[in-house]
Amino acid sequence: MTTIKSLRDLPRDIAPARDLWPAIEAQIAEEGSIGRLRRWRRLKPTPGQLGALAAALASLAIGIWVGRTALPGGTPQPVAQVPEPAAAMPVAYVNDPRYTAQRAAMIRALEAQLVALPPETQARVAASLATIRKSMQDIQNALGRDPGNALLQELLVDTYQEEMRVLTAVQEASSVREEI
């Protein structure tokens, strides 16, 4: 008895016990002529389906008619325009003193930490921080025009958090290089 390790080792001249192709071919030929008729019968709507469609369209038309005539209508009243302030109000948010102290310490340590990083990384960090600080300024200006906007307030908090992520990443990257 030989051991078969691959399909190539099998003999190629063995015929299958049963050939299925003639039955498949006959079914395809039958579907070709009869299949079109069956598909058409499936697509042709029955009288019940046509009645349901007519009832749905009639209900829709009545609903639109009732909505336009029976409900109180009229012309919409113009909304009073709120005058835009001439200049944006300066916005200053009081941050937690611990956050302010930690942020200031991280910014002071940033210069020394950047020196330990490759020049490309230094450029990326500087560009990221510049973008974040410009975003903070833009958001604060927008909050000066709309101080009650919760989305702008949330965006400002997210921007502060993103600045802290960058500062923390620089701190971690420089500490890893010092350990190596």
Ranges of each domain in the chain:
21-66, 97-179
Q: How confident is the model at residue 80 (pLDDT cuts 50, 70, 90)?
A: very low
**Cα(177)–Cα(180) distance, integer angstroms:** 5
**Contact (CB, 8 A) for 158 and 132:** no
Q: Give the DSSP per-residue string, 91-125.
A: --PPPPHHHHHHHHHHHHHHHHHHHTS-HHHHHHH
Q: Looking at residue 149, what is its pLDDT?
A: 87
Residue 126's pLDDT band, with cuts at 50, 70 and 90, is: confident
* Per-residue pLDDT, 35: 61
Q: Mind listing the pLDDT tens digit for each residue in 51-77?
A: 888 898 888 888 888 877 765 555 555
pLDDT of 36 > 90? The answer is: no
Q: What is the mean pLDDT of the chain?
A: 78
Q: pLDDT tens digit string along 8-23?
A: 888 888 777 888 888 8
